[in-house]
Structure 1
Amino acid sequence: MSRPNVVRGHLVGTSVGEIADGVVEFDDGRITWVGPAVDRGGGALLPPVSDDLVLPGLIDLHCHGGAGFGFPNADGDGARIAAAHHRRHGTTGLLGSLVSAQSDALVRQASMLADLVTDGDLLGVHLEGPFINAIRCGAQDPAAIIPGDPDLFERICAAARGTVRSMTLAPETANFDALLTAMRYHEVLPSLGHTDADAATTAARIADAVGAPITATHLFNGMPGLHHRSPGPVAACLAAAGRGEMVVEVIADGVHLAPETVTMVFDTVGADRIALVSDAMAAAGMSDGDYRLGALDVRVHDGVARLATSDGSPGAIAGGTATLLDVVRWAVRHAGIPLLDAVTAASRTPARVLGLTDERGTLSVGARADLLVTDQSLQPRRVFVAGTEGT
């Protein structure tokens, strides 16, 4: 019988929250014991006391790539490099996000990403479009945005062989009800975003989906701002999250949102209704320079990705360049989010959204041994995927 692996440190994300000096044991890919070191005993068999932080592996619901490769453009080898970049930084569960594109490109890339899901490199595929509003396209190609088309959705799902887990669509897109029915049949999570809808339309769509998971794609970004006489989709989504009917994505990377906005969302709806996401694109982990996001050119300057423009003026923000651990760190340092809340929003909440509550996103007995060990500054030290380090 093999000897269990043991990690010791300040545990964050257990069934009781935090444990100042705790131990996690795991064997054969599963966590077998969690608790205070003093309760475990074992003397010399335990690692020495450590001030490292031990977190559940992070789960990113919205990521377009990294390490120079983007899921909307790369081949299988490039997509695996991108996934491995995020895994090395503690994201042990990842959806590979596509962007609005011509139908053949969406079918091709969804089929390619399905291979990565089969191999365990991704948890699933996220379709960000093409059934969104061109008025709020952000860094999406307006020429590829089309009204809701259930037949195209079925074609993409067939190519992806059941691996599509989430789709961003605008509440006002055509054939919304038919799309929602098809998404429920294929167990695809609806995510409302890239929308110009008013609050009433958004609230009605949320009500249509009540009883099953639904999210908001990067709240505030790709939608009209919150105004006291025109509250828009932001107000509808915050209200739904407050009622426990929705989880809202938040890109807390210092570029997409002000720290006060991030603080407000956490204080308003709580970490159980927030999924921190990276929205990372190919430039994550790379130097400044020129990249692609789908069919569009992107220029990264001072770590900020924007669409390239002919006159050199700042274009729309084109995804992020951070990992999810970077987002957690920024939320704690700059938005003042308690560490446990930030970790919850980057692990347990997205796991629950994907129906993986008992499997991932927690330091609990029986869960998969996906662990992230960091120093006190939330810099990664060790990453375990199903109990194996450095994969």
Structure 2
Amino acid sequence: MYTDIHCHGGGGHSFGDTVEGTLAAFAAHRAHGTGRVVASLVSEPLERTAAAMDVIRQAMALDAGLLGVHLEGPFLAPGRKGAHDASALAIPTPDVVDALLDAADGIVRQITLAPELPHALDAIERFVEAGVVVAVGHTEADAETASAAFDRGATLLTHAFNAMPGITGRTPGPVGTAIADRRVSLEVIADGIHVDPRLIAMLFNAAPGRIVLMTDAMAAAAAAPGRYMLGSLAVDVVDGRAVIAGTDTLAGSALTMDRAVEVCVDAGVPREAAMAAATETPARVLGR
């Protein structure tokens, strides 16, 4: 039974739109072996995020496999926003953080944020105190800033290599910093599109036991190609590749966890390690 800690939807539905759609999205992933999901939400105004969390809360009461919410935003770097509405991004000031936690009422399990934003390091501590796993992502952070975030309590890197600076000879960036820090686990989207399979194998070798397979799937996962919505943005899915309509910007994926495991194995990752990255490691990250 796989555990997917970063998934926006599937089967033609997005998490948080309706209770029925949320359950149907989970059912689509369950058919591919995923037994537990943290439902991810993209950046939107607080009112809409609160409404989506309420929908997910109702769905959680009907299906124990729904573990809670992952907020991918709104505290993201504008230059690394990816498939997020720029107008919905925010600075993690104490009042905004507290408002978000109040609206969540205990169901947020994980949040992705850019640690270089004003107040972000203090926000990391506030979220950790509230029992939320903090992930560094959608960020312009250099190695020093990423390290400061990990020292303040962040323990995860959101979809390594995507929406962040890469590794060069003199700038290890967030990925290199996370690899070097044994307190930190690294998400990877193993669809063969977001990260070259050779790099996926390198990640498993560089950070054994700390790689988390996740899908970052949107509504098109386990569904037909076509146009879908991710938050307020239209997304076109062709040949398994999801992009913001009219652009080449990747917008989540159409991945399922069984496929992610096979991509890793095909890349040379031992099946036992790939399976652990889809089961034991994400559960450990969540403290389960």
Is TM more than 0.5 here? yes
| Partner AA of 2:38 in structure 1 | L
1:345 aligns with 2:282: no
Matched-pair contact (CA < 8 Å) for 1:114–1:160: no
What do the CA deviations read for 1:203-240 (whole angstroms, capped 9, x no partner)? 1111222xxx7100001001012111222212111111
Shift of 1:328: 0.6
- Cα-to-partner distance string for 1:320-353 (whole Å, 9 max, x where unaligned): 10111110111112x1111100000000011111
Q: Secondary structure at the match of 1:97?
A: strand
Identity of aligned residues (%): 41
Letter in 2 for 1:278: T
3-state SS of paired residue (2:121): helix
Pairs aligned (count): 287
- Indicate conservation of the 8 Å contact 2:121/2:148, yes or no: no
3-state DSSP of counterpart to 1:342: helix
Out of 227, 233, 244, the position equivalent to 1:307 is 244
Alignment-derived partner of residue 262 in structure 1: 200
Distance in 1 separating the partners of 2:5 and 2:22: 16
Task: Describe the superposition over 1:241-280 as per-residue Cα deviations: whole angstroms up to 9, x where unpaired.
Answer: xxx210100111111010110011001111x111101100
Is 1:187 the counterpart of 2:131? The answer is: yes
2:254 maps to which residue? 321
2:4 corresponds to 1:60: yes
Q: TM-score, normalised by structure 1?
A: 0.71
Counterpart-to-counterpart distance in 1, 2:26 and 2:172: 37
| Bigger Rg, which one | 1
Measure the CA separation in 2 of the matches of 1:292 and 1:328: 26
State the Cα distance separating 1:290 from its structure 2 match: 0.5
Is 1:113 matched with 2:39?
A: no
Deviation at 1:148, TM superposition (A): 1.1
Residue 150 (structure 1) shift: 3.2
- TM-score (ref. length: structure 2): 0.96
> What amino acid does structure 1 have at the position aligned with 2:163?
G
Q: How does 1:69-80 map to 2 (within 5 A)?
A: 69-71=13-15, 74-80=17-23
| Counterpart AA for 2:141 | A
**1:223-302 matched pairs, under 5 angstroms:** 223-240=164-181, 244-270=182-208, 272-302=209-239
Q: How do 1:78-89 and structure 2 match up within 5 A?
A: 78-89=21-32
Say if 1:117 and 1:124, in contact at 8 Å, map to a contact too: yes
Structure 1: 5+ residue stretches without partners = 1-56, 357-391
Does structure 1 conserve the Cα–Cα contact (< 8 Å) formed by 2:135 and 2:158?
A: yes
Q: In structure 1, how many angstroms separate the alpha carbons of the residues matched to 2:97 and 2:54?
A: 13
Looking at structure 2, the residues matched to 182 and 218 of structure 1 have their Cα atoms a distance apart, in angstroms, of: 23
Q: Is the 8 A contact 1:131 1:149 kept in 2?
A: no
Aligned equivalents of 1:273, 1:137: Cα separation in 2: 25
1:101 aligns with 44
Q: How has the CA–CA distance of structure 1 residues 246 and 167 changed in structure 2, closer, same or farther, with 3 Å as cutoff?
A: same
- Shift >4 Å, 4+ stretches: none
SS of equivalent to 1:123? strand
Greater share of residues in helix: 2
CA distance in 2, matches of 1:228, 1:65: 37
* Superposition deviation, residue 155 in structure 1: 2.6
RMSD of aligned Cα (Å)? 1.3
Q: CA deviation at 1:88?
A: 1.6
